[in-house]
Structure formats: structure tokens, C-alpha cells
Structure 1
Amino acid sequence: MGVEDKKTSYRIYLVAVAIFVMALLVTIKLTNIQWVEGDYYRQLAKERTVKDFTIPANRGNVYSADGSLLATSIPNYTVRFDALAPTKENFSKYAQDLADSLHVMFGKTSNFYHDELVKARKHNNRYFLVAKGLSYTEYLRVKSFPLFNLGAFKGGIITEQKIVREHPIGRIAERTIGYERIGHSGENLEVGIEGAFAKYLNGKDGRQMMQKIAKNHWKPISDVNQVEPVDGYDIVSTIDVYIQDIAHHALLKQLEYYEADHGCVVVMETKTGYVKAISNLGRNTDGSYSETVNYAVWEAQEPGSTFKLPVMVAMLEDKKIDTSKVFDCHGGDITYFGRHVRDSKKGGYGKVSLARGFELSSNTVLVQAVYESYKDNPKQFVQHLNDFGLNKKLGVSLKGEASPKIPQPSDPSWSRVSLPWMGFGYGLSLTPLQTLTFYNAIANNGEMVRPLFVKEIKEWDKTIKKFNKEVINPKVCSQGTIDQVKAIMLNVVKKGTGSKLYSPDFSMAGKTGTAQVNYGAGKEEMYYSSSFAGYFPAENPQYSCIVIIHKPQVGKGYYGADVSGPVFKRIAQKIYTDVPSTNEVKKLDKKIKKQEALYASYDTKINKATNAVPNTIGMSGMDAVAMLGNMGLKVQVIGMGKVKKQSLAPGQAITKNQTIILELS
């Protein structure tokens, strides 16, 4: 008996010791967690339950030169409900009032909303969806509803914001206005003005502390952001909406008629280099056209006959030849080192002067002139082209500019035919914008300016940065040469290849071009590129313009004067007819009162916007579309310009997804 008691005592002592050791180990571990590794575990717990979320800053707007909206950010809100946040007393007191308010705004019955709110609380739903796709005005209204007006902690309202980028003028100039976003593979896609000036438009993001709740959802810890976002700056582009509309539709009409593959048009202000319009349209598989590639900036190709202008300027500058010198076209077909150079007219033009050969775009005349002038010193000719800046990029602000190619005598690829081939625009490559810049320099009496797409960067009414004229070359050639080639280009339209475009009502000067693309790859792959480059009015140039159309249906026509020339004429004609005064060109460096007034008017109307239909009469159509869209209305637009009539009366209550029709002057 005593032995058994003794064994039992040993077992009790052993268990007691084991419990003591375990308690000691637990105490040591707790002490270690609390004091030694405490900071690590507290930080880990915080990271898993509390997190900093980025609040994207409002991206700045992009405006046209006259103050109309080209791109703007419209916030979209989603409202959810944390059904466990309100106290039992508050929920019972305000749930029915909240349901009534939701019924008035969204249309479903009060009973439906009340039942859903009760069900959410019963099932501990901390992320119940109330509404999504709300405009800022709608969000403010929901936020003011009973219960929700108590805030996130007491009322349970959860707000999520998403920014949507809108282009009020639709797809016109879409590629030039551009975008800046993340691609499918995580790459940063930066296109057009939006991409090039993203650092100004983006602003600075804010931060908000969020707490993890059920089902991996997060809710704000407080109604106040840790760091408030700072809105981006606004961009005022050089684009003129009216000229852009003319250029876009003139190009589209011609592409559709000739069933062409793609084309582009650029209109530039002669003195400043401001690009007033740029349209790039490519054919889709269904036969429609849209902007997918900025051909004017990106696509470098053999220019063909439009390159005869710098060729002529180089020869006249060196006084190698006189415009009155007569050349024999040799039946429209001459041969250099086994390669044929042919005129577009079968049989050629007989014996004509150099000036007349240019007017008729005779390949045989220009090639003979160039070869005779520089065959012993081709480097002298090429150096002129280099001095013109044709061998370098323009350095425009938009990304993706192609590099030009001007063959150099020192290149391994230089051959005996390189010089004569350059005489009619082959064996080299330029982008449409690079070609236009040279034509603009001649129109501008020799001063070559860089094409600009942005006039200024603004923060409300304060100018942050201004982009004035940038001179690339103060004088590309002598005034005597300029006067001669200007007279010849005027005759191109009056009595040369562009004679079909001549009008006694307004003057134009320029050069037609018809290039064979992929001419060495066989008949099936070869196609025509039709172009026209020039300026207007001829006597006092205000605008320069280039039009290039690729792969027109040959059966309908392919010469530059027939395919691209009418687009040029349409643009010049519309500007002359509808905007006869050119006095504004002299005042481009000054603030435009109309633009400043539009800024102030739009801002005032936005700040005063309520849940009632605003009065948009007299507003720019683009501004009215943006404001009404921001208020949750669906907008239909008839015409262009300013609002002259609206289908919903000012002051009328707005209902969700209601449609308003705007008639523009």
C-alpha cells in the first residue's frame, strides 16, 4: 500500500513538473512575442488588416485652341453598405427612410430596398451593393440620404471611385489627342498629347487607409484621406475644332470614294508651326475607317514628286541651273545605268523649261537637271538636303516619330543611280509631317519652325508653361530662291498638274505627288500613294497643308491631283468661305478672351450643378456634353458648335439614365 502511494506521488510530481515546464515555455514565448518580436507581429497584423490604398488624382483636361474640351475625366462612383456598422437603434430609426430615398432615386420599391437592407444586416453583410456607375452629383445625393449621412462608421456607407476618360468630340483626332494607360502585358502605353504630356496631366495621387472586412473586402477607416490627391494640370492644344472637323470629313469622304487603305492630312499655321488639324484614318476589315495609327508622324516612305521642291531649291541656291533652261523629255523615257525614268504622261512633254517641267511634274526633266548639276559632286547636293534638316527628326512632342532617310555618298548602299533617283523623290524616305515642315518653311519665307501640338499648360486660369514658336532653321535658303519656287508652285495650281483645283475665288500653291510604293516587289505588292503639299493663300500664306492617301483603287484614279488634291482644296475653301478673316493669326501669342471666358463659365456651371437640369444654351457643345454626362444624363448631339436648344427644360429634376438632346448651331 505504501509503495503504491509512493508511485502515485511520483506521478503527481512528474505531471506537476511537466505542467510547470510547459507554463514556463508559454510564458517565455509570450514574453518573446510581446517584447522581442512584438513590433514584427504587430506590423504583420496591421499589414493584413489595415492597408494604404492609392486615390488616383483627377487627370487634367485637354482643350482645343478655342477652349472646347477634347478629353476630360469623369468620375464614376460605387456605393456599398456595411450593414454591421450602424447601431441597432440607428438602423431601426433610419432604414425605412433610407429605403424611401433609394426608391425615389433608383426606381425600385421602398419595400424592396428595406427588405434588402434588413437581409444584409441579418446575414452580417459588410459589403452590400447599393448602386454603381454614379456620377459625382448622384454620389453626393446618395451620401446625403438618411443613415448614410452619418458617415462611414455610424452610417456604414462605403464609397469606391473610378475615373473614366472621355473624348467629347468622339473619335475625331483620337490618335493625336491620345491616351496614357497600362497595356495587357503591363507595359505603359503613351500615345498622342495624353501620353506625351502625361507628367503634367496625371497630378499626384492621394492615399487612404482602408481596413479589411469580410470576404477580402476593404472599407475606409475614416471619411478623411491620409493624403489628398492633387489634380493634374490642363493642356491647351493647338487643335482648332472647326478646322479639324473639316479636315477629318474631307479626308474620310475621299478615302471612302477611292476605297483607299489609309491616309492622313495635316494643317499647320505657317508663322507659328501650330498644328491646327491632323487626321489619320485607316481602313477596317468591315470597310469603315478609324484612327489607329498616327501616319503623319510615324510613317516614313518615299515621297515621290513632292520631294521635287527641295530638289529645285538646292539647284537654284547653287545657281547650277536657271528655271528657263530647256530640257528634252526624250519621249517621256530616259535611262540611267540601265534603270528607266518615265513621265506619267505617255510620250512625255517634248521640250520644256525646268520651271514648266516642275509644273507638269516631269520626272525626266528634274532627273536630267539634278544629274547634270551634281554628277561630279553629289555630296554638294546631299549637303543641301542635310542643311535643310531633312536628314534629322523634327523632334516633335508626340512619341513615335520615324527617322528620315537621306542617302549619303559615304553610305555603303550609295550607288550610281542614287543621285538621279533622288531627283524625283525615290531612294529616300520622309514622314508627311517632315515633308510639310519644309513646304511650310518656303511659305514662311525661309524660316523653318517645329510643328507644335500644345500651346500651354494651365492650372485653372494660371499658365504654368507656354509653348511659343520654335525655330529649327532661321533661313533654309535665299529670298530669291523662295520667290522663284513660290511662283512656280502657284503655276502648278493655275496651269500645271493641279489645274483641276484652281479657283479664281481663293489662291493656293503647292505640288502634286504620285509615288509607286513597293515598286521593286512585283505588280501585286506595288501600289500608289497620292499626295498634295502646299499652302494658302498663295500671296500671304497663313496655313500649310499636306494630304497623303495610300492605295486608292486604280480604276477610280490614283494621281495626286485627283485623289489628294480635292481634300486640300476642300480645306482651303471652307476656311476661306467660313473663316474669311485671318487677323486672328497675328494675335495667337495673346490670351484669347473667348477661351478664358469658356474656362470661367464651365467651372461656374460645374460648381453650381445640382440634381436639376442646367441651362446649357450658349455653351460649347463639348463642354455641355462633359457636364451633362458628369450629372448622369445620356446626351445626344445634333450638329456642331454651341448649344442653341436642349430637349429638357432647365430646372427639371434629373432621373437616372435620362436622355437629353442638344441641338448645336
Structure 2
Amino acid sequence: MSSAKQGIALRVRVAFMAVCVVVLAIFLRLINIQWIDGNRWGNLAEQNGFQYRDVKPMRGSIYAENDVLLATSVPLYRLSVDPFIIEEAIFKKDIDSLSVLLALHFQDKSAEEYKKKIVDARTAKKRYITLSPKYVTYQIRKEMMKWPIFREGQRKGGVLFERVNDRSYPFDVLGARTVGYVNDRDEGVVGLEYSFNQDLAGKMGRSLYQRISGGEWKPVNDGTQIKPVDGFDIYTTLDMNIQEIATTHLREALVEYEANFGCVIVMEVETGYIKALVNLGREEDGEYVEKYNYAIGDQGSTDPGSTFKLASMAAVLEDNKLLDLNDTLNIGNGTYNYYGRVMRDAGGTSGNISLLQAFQYSSSVGVSKLVMKQFGNRPQAYINYLYKFGLATPLNFQLAGEARPYIKNPLDPTWSAVTLPWMSVGYELKIAPIHTLTFFNAIANKGKLMQPILVKELKKANTVIKSFSPVIMNEKICSDTTLTKLYQMMEGVVQQGTARAIRDNKYRIAGKTGTSQKVKDGKYVKQYYTSFAGFFPAEAPKYSCIVVIDSPQGVKLSGGDVSAPVFKKIADMLYIRDLEMQKSILNLPDKSPFQVNIPEKNVVYAKDVEAVSKALSIPAFIQANAEWVFPVTKRYAIEWQEKNMLQNAVPSVIGMTLRDALFLLENKGFKVFFDGKGKVKSQSLMPGDKLPQEMKITLYLE
């Protein structure tokens, strides 16, 4: 019994070893076929007429707001047939009817020609022929499946519909450079199609094909197919109504001025969402088409001109908070010589002007003198403000091709003695319109710097794959005090400055004109880059916008004459169609009597306020330990906040009565001269400056 068991165990071991050897041999053979002789067998399979080929997925669609379709891949079908597989009885019975239907639908051959093509292929035992180069839609495919012969299906009727994807753009040229397009390989070339190509494209599938007579390939349904994975859909922030409005008015201006190119960006203030992005360039035939993204790309990145003065004024006011917009400076005859290079004003201003007037009338001499006075000995401090304002670094915009800002610093080999004054008025630097607008938008957004957003979501059907929420790049680019002054300056440009032609009584616009003279071969030429950037309604900003028109032709070629009217037309259309925007203005609280009767410019002696308030039994909210105060109006009360008077600097007495101004200045040792009556409107010495050797100052009263 024991020997029998041993015999059985031996046979089991032998059988097991034999199975292992067979399995190992099969495994080694598979490795040999797959890896060592794989290419040889693959080539042999191809020679024998079989090949695995890629199957394209359906490319994702691109949408604007409210699910408006901007780009989509329409599934079309190539109609082919295997004439040899059709049963004889069916073929003879229905070939004539089928040929007539093919001729009626495609209208490229007669019924007799279609019949001959199919009969000849059947006689030659061809297993695959394309009936027409024209594609058919899914709905037509469904109808064709009811036709004679085809209704028998692929196995008996030989019909084969091969899917091909055709990229369609419902809005055609509207926003074409932003949406982009694909090449013949279904790859994105520019715009969103390129920037989000990986998300839109999906993943390739694989399917077995058989080569048949004529060198054509026929798909074989052998169950080994790997289905393609369709791409994600993109949902953008674009509003096609705003896009159309901006395109229409920009095109009209470009045609009128025979300009080289132009662009418009409309941004939602609170979120940074791009609502319109228009780029139009002139073709040789005079037509304007979307051929380059001037709003963000290198070709649109240039000296911005006077719109950059807003950044310079923001830096000056933030660095010296004692400055008042009524403070004066002398610009002489509107020219100034900086180390042998003369700067000239184009606006005709001269003499003593206020800081507000320097900005309103775009005085390059005035702004550059302010910057040189504040930062001449420390230019890097000025550059640091530009970084803080978001003007010197990339925005990481979602479209590829964003131009990198070119902002020099004192260590740059091209920095010279005249760099700072010329940079302060928008020269010797390069930024794209998208960067300018992002900064202006931050002013409108109470100092909050938002990253521009063009794409909100990636979706698969109704499932959100990825979302792009508003991004705060800097919570506060400057103080509220500076923001208030910037607001006043920008509104002043439209109310009585270089853009007064677009002033409106229904709502207010705040902005800045820009006119940059172009340089060719190292010399200034009579060609200009004109722009207007701003936001509206200024009372409760909802949209910011920039309009750029390059190289306009004609007589009046300033930003106020060329670009600002386009801005106004766009703003008017958006205001008319937006009831919520209108309500936001109508619902603003009226100013209280306190705000009307006590201007916030007034600076008074704190003890006087306390005495008057006590005598009239009026509560006085005075900041503790303050000597000089100014009123800040609240909705139901007035707070008196401290006015900082630097001990070793020229104080600001703007808004004071002559008595208070004399008291303050004479206690500091000044000999005071004055002209006029009333309160101090301006003073001859700049507030915040070091005390002069000759302690003399002149006050101008009104």
C-alpha cells in the first residue's frame, strides 16, 4: 500500500513538472512573439491585411455664458459598402431603388453611374468601396438605414458608416482668435483650442482594420476594440452679446480711422471674468479680421503712454499720503529738460496747476516732476510699487501667448538718468492691454487685484471636472485714502479733462486716456498708439474696459478722440441692457446734509471743534489726542479724524481757514504770504517736502 502511494505521488510530481514545463514554454513563446519577433509578426499581419489603427475621440465643445455654443465637433459619417457580401436575391431586387436614392441625395452622380459603380465592385469581388466623398449627418444616417439593401444591416446589406468629426464654429469670425481653431489632425492651433487642447482632445481608441482590394482599410468588429474617451467641454466667461457689441463698435472706429489694429477687453470688476475679448487686424484688402491676440500677446505689448500715469500717481500718493489733489506744482510753459532730453506736454497747460489738473489734462511734465520729486533718489521704490500693482509680473492668463511685462529696474544696463521720468508717463517699458486693464480693474474693485479669468469650468456631460474660481492676486494694492484720490482723478478726466467728450448725465465713467507716440529706427514718428481704460458706472463699478486703436489716420489722433468714444458706445449699450446696473445707481443713498455742508477737505483745530460742538450740544466724535482734524462723513454722523502734521516737513493747510493756517505755519517758523479770500485752496510749497532754508510760503485762498 505504501509503495502504491509512492508511485501515485511520483506520477503526480512528474505530471506537475510536465505542466510547468509546458506553461513555461508557452510563456517564453509569448514573450518571443510579443517582444522579440513582435515587429516581424506585426509586419506580417499588415502584409496579410490586418492592422490596429487609432480611433479619434469626439473633441470637447466650447461654450460661452448661458451655454451658448462657440465650438463643437459635429459627428459626420462616411458612407461605404461591401457589395460582395449582399445576398444575390436582395441585390437584384433593390439595387435600382438604392441607386436612385443615392443619386437624389448626393447629386454628384446619376442613378445609372451609382449602379455601375456598385455592380462593377461586386463583380470584381471588392469588399469595400466609398460611395461618395460627401459626409452625412447622424439624422441622415438614420434615414439611410431604412433604404433598400442598407436596411439589412452591415452583415447582410454590407453598409458601413464610418464616423468622422467635423469642427464647427457657430459664430464664425466673432471671437475667432479667442476661441481658436484646429488643424487637419484635429489639434488646436491658437486660442482656447490650443491652450486647452489636452482637455478638449480626449484619448485615442484602438480598433482592428483589414486592408482590402484597392488599398483601402475596413474596420473589423472582432471585440478587441478600445473605445476612445471623448474630450471635456469648456465653459467660458464670455458674453456673446457683449462680444458682438464690442466687435461692432471697434470695427467701425478702425474703418473710420484706417487704423492698423485694435482690441477691446471687457472685464467684470468683482470677479475678473472676461466678458469680451476682441482683436481686429487690418488685411491687405482693408478688411479687419481676428488674426492675432493683440490684447495679450507680444505684438500688442508696447509703451502704454498716458494710461500708465495712473500707476505713477498711485505710487506718489501712496508714498506720500500728505499730498492733496489741490496741492500745486509749477510746470512752466509745459516743457522740461531732463538731462538734455526735453519732455513736452501736448495739452497746452502751463504755470501753476493742481495735482488733480495734472492728471485730468494728462500733463507729462507735471506727473514726471511729481515722480522725480518723490522717487528721484530711490527709483527702486517706484519700481516696487509697480510690482505691487501687478504691472510687472505675468498674470498667468489662461490663454497661451501672454506677453511678459518689460519693466526696467535701476540695475538694468539700459537704465539712464532719463528712464524714470519717461517711464512715469508710459515710455521705456512694455505691457500688454490685459495688464493695464487688470490694474484699472483693481482700482474699481476697492484695491483688490483680480486675476483675469476666461475659463470657468471643465465638464464631462453635467459633471464638473475642474472649476476656476476668481483668484485674488493682491488683497489691497493701496490704501483707501489713495483709492479715493484716484477715483476723483479718474472721474475728473471724463468730467472736465481729456475725455470730457464722453461725459454722460445718466451715469459716470472713470478712466484715463492714453496716446503713445511710436518709435521707428530709434526716432519718434507721427504715428500713435491710442487707448482709453476705465470702469463704469463709477458710482458702483460693474465693468472695467480698455480700448486700444493702433496707428489711426487723420487729424485728431489722441486717445480721447479715437479710443474713448468706442469705450463710451460699449458702456452705453451695456448700461441700457442691464437693469440691475441702473438700479445700483438709483438705489444709492442720497448725501446727507452733513456731507453737503461740511466738505471733507476742511482741516480744523480739534479744540475748536470740541468747543463748538459743546456750545451747540452736538455730539463730536473726535479721534483721541488729535490736534488737527478733518471730517469723515458717515451715514448718520461725522467722525473727526487726525490730520497728521509732520514735524520736520511742510504741512498741508489745504482746506483750512486763514486763521488756522497762520496759526500752524507761524508756529513752525514760516513767514506766510497769502492771496485772495476764504479758505486755503493751494500752497506754494509741496506738503511733505523737507523744510526749506528760507521759511517762506504763499497761500492761495478762495
Superposition TM-score tier, normalisation by shorter sequence = 0.7 to 0.9
Instruction: State how 1:181-580 maps to structure 2 within 5 Å.
Output: 181=183, 190-222=189-221, 226-298=225-297, 299-319=300-320, 321-346=323-348, 348-518=349-519, 521-522=522-523, 527-553=527-553, 555-580=554-579
Greater RCO structure (CA 8 Å; 6+ sep):
1
CA distance in 2 between counterparts of 1:546 and 1:355 reads 22
- The structural deviation recorded for 1:442 is 0.4
Higher CA-based Rg: 2
Q: 1:115 to 1:182 in 2, by over 3 A?
A: closer
Conservation of the 8 A alpha-carbon contact between 2:208 and 2:222: no
Conservation of the 8 A alpha-carbon contact between 2:575 and 2:582: no
CA distance in 1 between counterparts of 2:37 and 2:259 reads 72
Instruction: State how 1:605-620 maps to structure 2 within 5 Å.
Output: none
Conservation of the 8 A alpha-carbon contact between 1:532 and 1:561: yes
Conservation of the 8 A alpha-carbon contact between 1:385 and 1:391: yes
Q: 1:614-645: CA deviations, max 9, x gaps?
A: xxxxxxxxxxxxxxxxxxxxxxxxxxxxxxxx
Conservation of the 8 A alpha-carbon contact between 2:303 and 2:428: yes
- The structural deviation recorded for 1:556 is 3.9
Aligned to 2:147: 145
**Structure 1 stretch displaced more, 218-227 or 541-550:** 218-227
Q: 1:62 to 1:391 in 2, by over 3 A?
A: same
Aligned to 2:209, the other structure's residue is in SS state strand
Q: 1:38 to 1:533 in 2, by over 3 A?
A: closer
Question: What 5-or-longer segments of structure 2 have no aligned partner?
Answer: 1-31, 585-702
Conservation of the 8 A alpha-carbon contact between 2:390 and 2:435: no
CA distance in 1 between counterparts of 2:101 and 2:343 reads 81
Using structure 1 for the length normalisation, give the TM-score.
0.78
- The structural deviation recorded for 1:432 is 0.2
Aligned to 2:686: none
CA distance in 1 between counterparts of 2:39 and 2:174 reads 56
Aligned to 1:92: 92
Conservation of the 8 A alpha-carbon contact between 1:55 and 1:229: yes
Q: 1:532 to 1:138 in 2, by over 3 A?
A: same
Q: Counterpart amino acid of 1:149?
A: R
Aligned to 1:139, the other structure's residue is in SS state helix
CA distance in 2 between counterparts of 1:63 and 1:180 reads 16
Aligned to 1:193, the other structure's residue is in SS state helix
- The structural deviation recorded for 1:583 is 9.5
Q: 1:550-596: CA deviations, max 9, x gaps?
A: 0000x2421001110011101110011122324999xxxxxxxxxxx
Q: 1:98-143: CA deviations, max 9, x gaps?
A: 2344355446665453343223323444443323221122223223
- The structural deviation recorded for 1:383 is 1.3
CA distance in 1 between counterparts of 2:520 and 2:46 reads 65
Q: 1:549 to 1:224 in 2, by over 3 A?
A: farther
Equivalent pairs, count: 546
Q: 1:41-69: CA deviations, max 9, x gaps?
A: 65432123111222211111111112111
CA distance in 2 between counterparts of 1:280 and 1:384 reads 30
- The structural deviation recorded for 1:267 is 0.2
Conservation of the 8 A alpha-carbon contact between 1:180 and 1:198: no
Q: 1:415 to 1:126 in 2, by over 3 A?
A: same
Instruction: State how 1:125-164 maps to structure 2 within 5 Å.
Output: 125-131=126-132, 132-164=134-166
Q: Counterpart amino acid of 2:338?
A: Y
Q: 1:390 to 1:527 in 2, by over 3 A?
A: same
- The structural deviation recorded for 1:389 is 2.4
CA distance in 2 between counterparts of 1:337 and 1:514 reads 24
- The structural deviation recorded for 1:484 is 0.7
**Structure 1 stretch displaced more, 292-301 or 191-200:** 191-200
Conservation of the 8 A alpha-carbon contact between 2:126 and 2:212: no
CA distance in 1 between counterparts of 2:533 and 2:353 reads 23
Conservation of the 8 A alpha-carbon contact between 1:343 and 1:363: yes
Conservation of the 8 A alpha-carbon contact between 2:60 and 2:231: yes
CA distance in 2 between counterparts of 1:210 and 1:223 reads 10
CA distance in 2 between counterparts of 1:146 and 1:42 reads 41
- The structural deviation recorded for 1:456 is 1.2
Conservation of the 8 A alpha-carbon contact between 1:269 and 1:544: yes
Aligned to 2:641: none
CA distance in 1 between counterparts of 2:189 and 2:395 reads 19
Using structure 2 for the length normalisation, give the TM-score.
0.74
CA distance in 2 between counterparts of 1:318 and 1:42 reads 77
Aligned to 1:53: 53
Q: Counterpart amino acid of 1:140?
A: K
